[in-house]
């Protein structure tokens, strides 16, 4: 698979210039108005200049209002940060980041009553990803989209019955669609238990058609995952636990303007680290009603 080079045609280049001219009053850093970023907003709005401009202005206003430019330096709750089972593990065949998240092993009860802290952590991590992307984009002069592997093994009623977990999920999906357009190349969802259908029914309305088309539901057969995943990621760029050859305790880190890899002491667990003491379906429905 080839890299996500822009290869813009003359019409696209002109539209990027026109969009850049339209938002010149915003005085944002040069990186945000380079062609490889302008085209993301244009493509997210089907190359409509008016809608792309509106989207970009809302994006900048949101960043200013919430101090997102400084999100990487925010103090975030360490217990939440350490509990979230996600990491950057490599690069895809197209040059984008590879993320691995075993969401099924996360104890959602850690999130209960901590919605604001969860959102603060989420944007801290999204901006960390943005720093990775900026690092590579400035080197290569193109924006490479992420490839994500989401392991749903262990997902249970505890996840779909924790209101603040669901609230944070919905808010994060909305923000990702609105403020991080055209960032995802493909996401593989593996090992989905039947309870995932409940979570999916909640999340689906907040996922755009374009993002939906980039989701791959691969079930529980590792050989099937491997065949599909290796169309986008080399075998040594994703973990052994999901069919690759990369050590499970490896991750990539961005610090002080540099990207490097490291090995952690903990490896991918085989079993859930929390005991599912969640209520039954009736209590879940009652909890979700509180979101309205």
Q: What is the CATH number of domain 10-65?
A: 1.10.8.20
Please list the ranges in the chain whose pLDDT falls under 70.
1-6, 266-292
Rounded to whole angstroms, how far apart are CA atoms 130 and 88? 12
Three-state SS at 137: helix
Question: What's the topology of domain 77-289?
Answer: Phosphatidylinositol Transfer Protein Sec14p (3.40.525)
Residue range 92-120, pLDDT digits in tens: 998 899 999 999 998 888 888 999 999 99
Convert the pLDDT of each residue in 54-85 to its tens digit: 999 999 999 999 999 999 999 999 999 888 88
184-190 and 146-151 beta bridge pairing: parallel
**Listed residue (199, 105, 198) closest to 151, CA to CA:** 105
The domain segmentation of the chain, as residue ranges, is 10-65, 77-289
Tell me if domain 10-65 and domain 77-289 are identical in fold.
no
Quote the pLDDT of residue 219. Answer: 86
């Amino acid at each position: 698979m080839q890299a996500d080079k822009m290869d813009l045609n003359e019409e696209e280049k002109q539209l990027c210039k026109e969009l850049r001219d339209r938002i010149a009053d915003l005085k944002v850093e040069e990186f945000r108005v380079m062609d490889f970023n302008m085209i993301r907003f244009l493509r997210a709005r089907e190359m409509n200049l008016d809608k792309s401009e509106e989207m970009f202005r809302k994006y900048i206003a949101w960043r200013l209002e919430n101090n997102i430019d400084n999100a990487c330096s925010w103090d975030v709750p360490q217990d939440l940060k350490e509990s979230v089972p996600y990491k950057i593990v490599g690069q895809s065949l197209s040059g984008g980041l590879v993320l691995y998240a075993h969401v099924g092993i996360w104890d959602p009860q850690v999130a209960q009553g901590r919605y604001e802290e969860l959102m603060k952590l989420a944007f801290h991590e999204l901006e960390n990803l943005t720093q990775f992307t900026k690092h590579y984009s400035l080197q290569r002069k193109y924006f490479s989209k992420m490839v994500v592997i989401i392991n749903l093994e262990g997902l249970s009623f505890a996840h779909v019955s924790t209101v603040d977990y669901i609230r944070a999920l919905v808010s994060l999906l909305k923000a990702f669609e609105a403020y991080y357009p055209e960032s995802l190349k493909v996401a593989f969802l593996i090992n989905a238990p039947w309870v995932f259908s409940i979570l999916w029914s909640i999340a689906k309305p907040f996922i755009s058609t374009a993002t939906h088309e980039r989701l791959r539901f691969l079930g529980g057969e590792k050989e099937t995952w491997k065949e599909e995943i290796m169309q986008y990621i080399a075998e040594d760029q994703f973990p052994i636990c999901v069919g690759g050859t990369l050590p499970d305790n490896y991750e990539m880190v961005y610090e002080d303007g540099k990207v490097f890899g490291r090995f952690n002491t903990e490896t991918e667990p085989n079993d859930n680290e929390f005991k599912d003491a969640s209520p039954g379906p009736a209590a879940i429905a009652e909890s979700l009603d509180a979101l309205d």
